[in-house]
């Protein structure tokens, strides 16, 4: 019993000293989205501001996130339906991966389509979390052509999302 209590106390102490990430207030719709740099499949840097002038639906997902992976086919379907509209669908992989091969293998395995981006390293990962105040996945964010948040908690890929986007893009 003493050993169990000692282990619990030690665990509590160690957790108390772990690095805590500062959680900021969530953005509100209409707030300006930060420019951010991602890496594409060719290991080239791409900035969010390159999409200015179009709506951006951002799917923030992870390689090992079951709900994220489950949403991929529906997102592919939504992207196809809106391919002629003033909207870009971008997928941001929320992983700390300096090895692009693992990411590329998963993109192929899950049959992802469209614009795929990676945060790449720890600095980018934590920078993204802070810049977009996104602390869990999957996350769906809609940004307007001027670079402002339309919806920081947009619907997941679904029929609801299709209806939602039609109402915004009319």
Q: What does the pLDDT read at residue 2?
A: 56
Nearest-angstrom CA–CA distance, 65 and 110: 12
Tell me what the mean pLDDT of segment 134-146 comes to.
93
- For residue 16, count other CB atoms closer than 10 A to its CB: 8
- Least trusted range by pLDDT, from 7-21, 33-47, 73-87: 7-21
3-state secondary structure 14-63: HHHCCCCCCCCCCCCCCCECCCCEEECCCCCEEEHHHHCCCEEEEEEECC
pLDDT tens by residue, 68-126:
999 999 999 999 999 999 999 999 998 887 678 889 999 999 999 999 999 878 888 88
Give the confidence band of 3 by pLDDT, cuts at 50, 70, 90: low
Sorted by where each starts, the structural domains of the chain and their CATH numbers stand as 24-169 (3.40.30.10)
Tell me what the mean pLDDT of segment 44-49 comes to.
93
Give the confidence band of 138 by pLDDT, cuts at 50, 70, 90: very high
pTM value?
0.81
């Amino acid at each position: 019993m003493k050993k169990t209590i000692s282990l619990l106390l030690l665990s509590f102490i160690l957790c108390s000293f772990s690095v805590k990430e500062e959680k900021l207030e969530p953005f509100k719709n209409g707030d300006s989205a930060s420019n951010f740099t991602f890496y594409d499949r060719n290991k080239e840097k791409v900035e969010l501001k390159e999409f200015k002038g179009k709506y951006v639906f951002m799917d923030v997902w992870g390689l090992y996130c079951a709900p994220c992976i489950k949403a991929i086919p529906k997102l592919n379907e939504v992207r196809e339906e809106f391919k002629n509209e003033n909207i870009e669908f971008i997928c941001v992989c929320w992983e700390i991966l300096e090895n692009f091969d693992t990411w590329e293998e998963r993109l192929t395995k899950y049959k992802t389509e469209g614009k795929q981006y990676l945060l790449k390293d720890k600095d980018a990962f934590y920078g993204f979390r802070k810049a977009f105040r996104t602390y869990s996945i999957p996350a769906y964010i809609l940004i307007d052509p001027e670079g402002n948040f339309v919806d920081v908690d947009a619907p997941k890929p679904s029929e609801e999302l299709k209806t939602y986007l039609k109402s915004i893009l009319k």
